[in-house]
Every structure is written in C-alpha cells, then in structure tokens.
Homo-oligomer: A and B are copies of this chain.
Amino acid sequence: MISYSEQYRKALLEDVIPFWEMNSPDPVYGGYFTCLDREGKVYDTDKFVWLQGRQAWTFSMLFNQVEKNPKWLSLAKDGVDFLKKYGRDKKGNFYFSLTREGKPLVQPYNIFSDCFAAMAFGQYGLATQDEKVLNLAKNTFENILSRKSNPKGKYAKSYPGTRPLKNFSLPMILSNLCLELEPLLDKELVEQTIDECIHEVMEVFRDKETGLIYENVMPDGSLCDSFEGRLINPGHGIEAMWFMMDIAHRRNNQHLMDQAIQSVVSILEYGWDTQYGGIFYFMDAKGKPPLSLEWDQKLWWVHLETLVALAKAYRFTKNPELLKLFEKVHTYSWEHFADPESGEWFGYLNRQGEVLLPLIGGKWKGCFHVPRGLYQVWKALEE
C-alpha cells in the first residue's frame, strides 16, 4: 500500500502540481489558463468558471492539507480574486465562462459554476481566515440552495410538467459541498443537508436492486423509459459513492458505508469495457443506443474518481477484493492516461484507449480531478 500511496504522492507533488504552477497562471489578467497542450502551451485563453473555481480550490486545499506553501496560497488567490472581480452577475449568480480579460461570455445558466466558486471561497477562506471571502462562500452556498428547485432558471428548456425529471448532479455535489463548507455553516443546516443528500442519492437515484445510479428519475424516484431516464454515467455514480463513504465515515454509519461500497463494485462491473478495458462514459440502462456519441470514450475523471472510491473502500474494509479492483483500474489508468511528457494526464481516450485529443487541459479538464484524485488515493492508502 505504501508504494501505491507514495506513487500518488510523488505524481501529485512532483509532476502534476508543477505543471499547473508553471503553465496555468495568467500574469496579465489574473485567473488561470486551462487550455494547455502537452508542452504547457496555451492554445485558447477563455476562462471557464468551473475550472477557475476548481483550481483555486485545489491550491487552497493543498495549502490547508499538505503544506503551508505560500506559493500555493498565492496561486489560489489569483483565482479567487479573478472570480470575485469578474465571476458574478448583479444577482450574485456565477457566469459559465469569461474572456481572458474577465468579460462575461456565457450566462449563469449552470449552477455548478456557483458550486465550484463556493468550494474555492470556502477552502481559501479557511486558509486565510479572510472574513469577506468566508462570507462570500456562505452567501454563494445559500444562493445555490435558493436556486435548487430551478437551477437553470429561464434557460431551462424542458416544458414544465410533461416529464418532470429530477437530475442527480445537484444532490450529489451538495453532499460534497456541505462537508467542504461545514466550518462556515450552521450545524443544523449541515446535518439537515447531509440527511437530504443521503436520502436523495441512496434512496431516490440509486436503484436498490442493481446498485446503479440513474442520472434522472421521476419526482417519486420511479424510473422513466426515455433517453434521459435510462441514462447511466458510471463515473458520476462512483464519484458520488465516495462522497457517501466520507459521510458514512464521519457519521460512523456502517450501513451507509456498506451500501456505498456495494454500489461502487456494481457500477464498476456494469461500466467496465470487457473488450478494451476502461470504464465507459455513458450507458443506457436498458442497453438501447445512448444519446451521446461519446458514450464509449474513456475519460480521465471517471477513472480517477473510481480510483479514489476503491482506495477508500479498501481503506475502510481492508477487503482484498477491493484492492484487486483498485489494481485493475490503477493499471489501466496509468498505462493509458498518464502522459510522461507533461507529467499530467490525458483527458480523453477513444474506446480503444488511444489518445483522442492531445490536450492536458481544456474547457472541462483543469487542475482538479487529477490532483484531487491523487491526493485522495495517497491519503487513503497511507493509513
């Protein structure tokens, strides 16, 4: 275990973080470039709010958890300042993307911008004890809760009432976000949010029979035989299960822990490509053709989140079967995703495991899943 733990620690601190430290900061306008090729060169300068928040969170988290390195705090500040200055519209909702200079490009149609901004402010506020940033984290969290029932606002395209599907993403992310922001929040609100999240994730979106997570269900939790209703996103489900394991550990809830681990195993078995290896991106629960043309591709974050889930599952159970699963995913991931040239990971492989896009960062891949995953595995296997 120590050797795995050491491999992940070294990759994080010696390869991955230096790549982002070196290539990502925008010295002119602040914030981060995320569209980076293997040499670290910037191929597009737009700034995506998800990734600004996530990177500021990563550097704050490393400062808080690994080492009080002033360089990390300063890099976190770059992103936090950029978000504070340019990230929000007048109502406090976060845009989806900005130009390099910080001008708004895409409207706040997507509440996950707000979620990642809140995570960034929360960790950075803990690091600096800056009251203003802590308040901003809290206000952003409250704004997310207030938009919960209609997160897309006027940009929602579904006709009200016909097929009122609920989506998995928000309860999933809230189960992580409320632990992230716990020190800033009212104790009762935290416990209540956790209760709701456990209920939503494990009872509403998780199918008790198969252990699979459905991305969209009817309000009563029943399944809906439509493209959206049949959609399974294995990486998403597995990621949510390690959020649940963290909650189970915190609450000492063995039942929840067992359920979450069982689901990880079920989803992994279901989503594994027995022909080429790796985990599919999207599947249809009834085996019908999925809507997304990229369904069979292998994505970096899916594999990192699975490594985290399996490392935690092993840590909490010491079950050697879970270690074997970890090793299977570990071997596939390091053989296919890790890029020796950049020290970071490729994001997108085709089904066969060949590089589909030769980028290290882009519109959706930034400084987040790789470093967070490496950190989480390092820590889980160290114990």
Binding site for B on A (CB under 8 A): 37, 43-44, 46, 95-96, 99, 103-107, 109, 154-155, 157-159, 162-163, 225-227, 288-291, 293-297, 348, 350-351, 356-359, 362-363
23 A-B pairs in the complex with CB atoms less than 8 angstroms apart: A37-B289, A44-B288, A46-B227, A95-B159, A96-B157, A103-B162, A104-B162, A105-B159, A105-B162, A106-B157, A106-B158, A107-B157, A107-B159, A154-B154, A154-B155, A155-B155, A227-B363, A291-B362, A291-B363, A293-B348, A293-B357, A295-B357, A350-B351
Contacts of A46 in B (CB 8 A): 226-227
Copies of this polypeptide in the complex: 2
What is the bound-complex CA distance between A14 and B291, given in angstroms? 29
Indicate the member of A163, A225, A290 with the most B CB atoms within 10 Å. Answer: A163
In the complex, the chain B residue whose C-beta lies closest to that of A96 is B157
Instruction: Give me the 3 closest cross-chain CB pairs, A-B, nearest first.
Output: A293-B294, A104-B159, A289-B357
Q: Which residues of B contact A99 (CB under 8 A)?
A: 162-163
Question: A157's contact among B43, B155, B293, B351, by CB below 8 Å, is which?
Answer: B155
Q: How far is the CA of A225 from the CA of B44 in the complex (A)?
A: 8
Min CB gap A89→B, angstroms: 9
- Residues from chain B with Cβ under 8 Å of A294 in the complex: 293-294
Q: Is the contact region of chain A dominated by helix, strand, or loop, or is it mixed?
A: loop
- Are A44 and B158 touching (Cβ within 8 A)? no
Residues of B within 8 A of A154 (CB): 154-155
- Chain B residues with CB under 8 Å of A359's CB are 289
Q: A103-B162, A107-B159, A289-B362 are in contact. List 13 more A-B contacts (CB 8 A).
A: A43-B288, A44-B226, A46-B226, A95-B159, A105-B159, A105-B162, A105-B163, A154-B154, A227-B363, A289-B357, A291-B362, A293-B294, A350-B350
Instruction: State whether B107 touches A158 (Cβ < 8 A).
Output: yes
Q: Which residues of B contact A159 (CB under 8 A)?
A: 95, 103-107
Closest to A362 in B: B289
Contact across chains for A296 and B356 when beta carbons are under 8 A apart: yes
Query: Closest residue of chain B to A297, judged by CB?
Result: B293
Query: Which residues does chain B contribute within 8 Å of A43, judged by CB atoms?
Result: 288-289
Q: Complex: how many Å from CA A244 to CA B305?
A: 50
With a CB–CB cut-off of 8 A, which chain B residues contact A155?
154-155, 157
* Min distance, Cβ A370 to any Cβ of chain B, angstroms: 17
Give the interface centre of A154, A159, A225, A362 by most chain B CB atoms within 10 Å: A159
How far apart sit A159 and B89, CA to CA, in the bound complex (Å)? 11
Residue among A96, A162, A291 having the largest count of chain B Cβ atoms under 10 Å: A162
Asked if B162 and A289 sit within 8 Å, CB to CB, the answer is no
Interchain CA distance A107-B163 in the complex, whole Å = 12
The CA of A293 and the CA of B44, in the complex, are separated in Å by: 17
What is the CA–CA distance of A282 and B174 in the complex, to the nearest angstrom?
A: 35
Q: Which residues of B contact A157 (CB under 8 A)?
A: 96, 106-107, 109, 155
Interfacial chain B residues near A44, Cβ < 8 Å: 225-227, 288
State the CA gap A155–B294 with chains docked (Å).
25
In the bound complex, residues from chain B placing their C-beta under 8 Å from that of A363 are 227, 291
Name the contact of A289 in the complex, choosing from B103, B109, B358 (C-beta under 8 A).
Answer: B358
Q: How far is the CB of A281 from chain B (nearest CB, A)?
A: 8
- Residue in B closest to A363 when the chains form the complex, CB atoms: B291
Of A155, A297, A363, most buried by chain B (CB within 10 Å of CB) is A155
Q: Which of B105, B290, B356 contacts A293 (CB 8 A)?
A: B356
**Complex: A54 Cα to B155 Cα, angstroms:** 27
